[in-house]
Amino acid sequence: MGIPCHVGIIMDGNGRWARRRLLPRLAGHRAGMNRMLALVEHIFSCGVKYVTVFALSTENLSRPQSELDGLFGLFREYFSSQMEALRENGVRLRVIGDRALIPQDIADLIRAGEELTAEGTKANLAIAIGYGGRQDIVSACNRAVRAGREVTEESFAAALSTGGMPALDLLIRTGGEKRISNFLLFEAAYAELVFSGKMFPDYTDGDFDAALKEYASRERRFGKI
């Protein structure tokens, strides 16, 4: 089946990774962020054109303020320091999710990063922050209702925050749970699902290569025989 065009990653297990090492949860998120940086580069080097990572769900926003502040600090660091590298590598950044749910200064950094990388054509990185698949679907529905138009599968897909990106081919979740947890619900309709028991900071490039192999060995029939 070859290389998937669009890979999604649910980066779960940072908190447990830290707890097992008697470290604060934020140390797990930092280790997760560092792992994400290298892993995404590796995934692009395999020929994947679109990667979407789940950094913060709508539901995660009800975590204790101290953890959220730590995560927001990491986002500030990332969006302040990594945008030039993305641009140099031809990677176009898109952040999906409700910007009203995150601090304004981070929303500003995100907008600047998206503008800086807008001409990137080699690869596409989407980061889901304050994102929920159901919420995204409901917003797209409401926009169609307000405009008084019926939707088709294609026009509806285009109205989602992932509009213009191909449907998801491969969805990887680390951390041992086997669920989608409100990530890319519409987009994952025919995605192959690969679950790893490893905590995200321990998920290696080699683990991804094994997931690619597993993907290539599956037969995707899209409901046909």
Residues 118/90, Cβ–Cβ less than 8 Å: no
61 binds ligand FPP (CB under 6 A): no
Tokens 């213009």 correspond to 164
8, 13, 130, 132: residue in contact with ligand FPP (rule CB under 6 A): 13
From the list 39-47, 53-61, 184-192, 202-210, the region that binds ligand FPP by CB under 6 A is: 53-61
Q: Which is nearer to ligand FPP, 144 or 205 (CB)?
A: 205
32, 113, 132, 133: residue in contact with ligand FPP (rule CB under 6 A): 32
11 binds ligand FPP (CB under 6 A): yes
What is d(CA 120, CA 86) in angstroms, rounded to the nearest whole number? 8
What is d(CA 91, CA 40) in angstroms, rounded to the nearest whole number? 11
From the list 25-33, 107-115, 161-169, 214-222, the region that binds ligand FPP by CB under 6 A is: 25-33
44 binds ligand FPP (CB under 6 A): no
∠ CA 205-207-212, rounded to 5°:
95
What is d(CA 156, CA 45) in angstroms, rounded to the nearest whole number? 31
Q: Which is nearer to ligand FPP, 80 or 155 (CB)?
A: 80
14 binds ligand FPP (CB under 6 A): yes
94 binds ligand FPP (CB under 6 A): no
75 binds ligand FPP (CB under 6 A): yes
Which residues from 99-138 bind ligand FPP, rule CB under 6 A? Answer: 127
- Helices 104-116, 65-81: axis angle to 10 degrees equals 30
CB of 57 to ligand FPP, least distance (A): 7
Q: Which structure tokens are listed for 100?
A: 């009203």
> Count of CB atoms within 10 A of residue 199's CB?
24
Q: Which is nearer to ligand FPP, 16 or 49 (CB)?
A: 16
What is d(CA 159, CA 42) in angstroms, rounded to the nearest whole number? 30
Q: Which structure tokens are listed for 223?
A: 């409901």
12 catalytic per annotation:
yes
34 catalytic per annotation:
no
Look at residue 166 and give its three-state secondary structure.
Answer: coil
12 binds ligand FPP (CB under 6 A): yes
Beta bridge pairs of residue 172: 9, 194
Residue 194 has phi, psi (to 5 degrees) of: -130, 125
Q: Under the rule (CB under 6 A), what is the footprint of ligand FPP?
A: 11-16, 29, 32-33, 36, 55-56, 60, 74-75, 78, 127, 175
Catalytic residues: 12, 60
